[in-house]
Amino acid sequence: MELSRTLIEWQRLHGRHSLPWQGTRDPYRIWVSEIMLQQTQVGAVIPYYQRFMARFPDVQKLAAASEEEVLAHWAGLGYYARGRNLHRAARIVVAQHKGAFPTDFDAIQALPGIGRSTAAAISAFAYGQSRAILDGNVKRVLTRVFGIVGWPGEKSVENQLWQLAERLLPASDIETYTQALMDMGATVCTRSRPRCGECPLLSACIAHREGRAGEIPAARPKKVLPKRAVTLLLLRHGRDVLLEKRPSPGIWGGLWSLPEMQGTPELSCQQLTGATYKHLRELPVFQHTFTHFHLQIQPLEMIVPALPLVANQPDRIWMDVEEAIRAAIPKPVKNILQACVD
């Protein structure tokens, strides 16, 4: 189709060609990049990807690692279920596919954390299979070019977009075409201030022709996010802090975090350490926003006079604060700990 060929030619001249996961047919490297790029911008992903691949260069290394170590290399990227699913999927590939990443589309999509669009991207880039992708960038390009109204997350709109994406697939150069769609949405047909003057599809774009690029695609229907509050306890003895592993699944599942206060500060300290604190200080309250709610965090710093043993508690540990900052901890907790050493 003409649109597909136009995009392919544009990508060869103006698209991105030097990203660290490009220029390879290795499905493992492609898979890791696609998972990291879910809901995260390229610029933020690159350093994490490079560190992750240096530590886990193949699926066997990833499968053999502990979840804690994997999450330590994921910490800061957010959406930690992606890291846990990546680890689970690696172990499935080793156990059920003899360490060879599957080539069958349905087998790829059956792995934890891989949906239809991600499976299609892996199939296209690793195996040259003709599969349609439909991530957020592609939805934006297609809705604008074809003037499709409505929120793309709505099922009827999404189904329409999938049918369109399938129909537009080129007969050849699927890898270049797939990358072109991604590059268009990321660099030209952006969410705000699209660079329409640089768009190779400008003459065909209905949204531009009708002056509606700012309205299409329609935004997610607004809803008021609920608010929750939590008090996190920064229990300290010298340079050591007490960390507690979060249950999985759940918020920050599998990560080390500061314990939540249960009851009074005195009772919580006694239950967690078997000791009483000698100093209590309220640190500044701040808010962290998740997809479905706002979390108001009140950190309480408690100094304990001696380092109580954490006996028979595999999910609690005393750790040097600088070592803790490098561990698998959520970003809000990392910010609290960094304030201790700044």
Between the CA of residue 139 and those of 21, 117, 121, 178, 294, what are the distances in Å? 23, 11, 14, 13, 27
β-pair partners for 241:
236, 319
Residues in Cβ contact with 56 at an 8 Å cutoff, skipping those fewer than 6 apart: 32, 62, 65, 70, 73
> Looking at residue 249, what is its pLDDT?
76
Cα-only R_g, the chain: 24
Is 210 annotated in the active site?
A: no
CA 8 remoteness from chain centre: 28
User: Quick one: CA torsion of 186, 18, 125, 120, rounded to 10 degrees?
Assistant: -20
> Looking at residue 260, what is its pLDDT?
94
> Looking at residue 63, what is its pLDDT?
97
> Which amino acid, residue 138?
V
- Angle of CA points 265, 268, 269, to nearest 5°: 85
> Looking at residue 103, what is its pLDDT?
97
144 close to 206: Cβ distance less than 8 angstroms: yes
CA 174 remoteness from chain centre: 25
> Looking at residue 229, what is its pLDDT?
95
> Looking at residue 254, what is its pLDDT?
85
> Looking at residue 75, what is its pLDDT?
85
212 close to 143: Cβ distance less than 8 angstroms: no
Q: How far apart are CA 219 and CA 106, in angstroms?
A: 31
Between the CA of residue 117 and those of 121, 159, 165, 253, what are the distances in Å? 6, 13, 11, 25
240 close to 319: Cβ distance less than 8 angstroms: yes
Per-residue DSSP letter, 185:
I
3-state helix, strand, coil in the chain (%, to 5): 45, 15, 40
Domains of the chain in sequence order = 2-209 (1.10.340.30), 227-341 (3.90.79.10)
Q: How confident is the prediction along the chain (342 residues), in pLDDT tens digits per residue?
A: 689 999 999 999 999 999 999 999 999 999 999 999 998 899 999 999 999 999 999 999 999 999 989 998 998 888 889 999 999 999 999 999 999 999 999 999 999 999 999 999 999 999 999 999 999 999 999 999 999 999 999 999 999 999 999 999 999 999 999 999 999 999 999 999 999 999 999 999 999 999 999 999 998 888 888 999 999 999 999 889 999 999 877 888 888 999 999 999 999 988 888 888 889 999 999 999 988 899 999 999 999 987 776 655 778 889 999 999 988 899 999 999 988 776
CA 102 remoteness from chain centre: 23
Please pick, among 2, 9, 34, 175, the residue that the annotation labels catalytic: 34
Structure tokens at 264: 């009074």
Q: At what angle do helices 67-74 and 42-55 cross, to 10 degrees?
A: 150
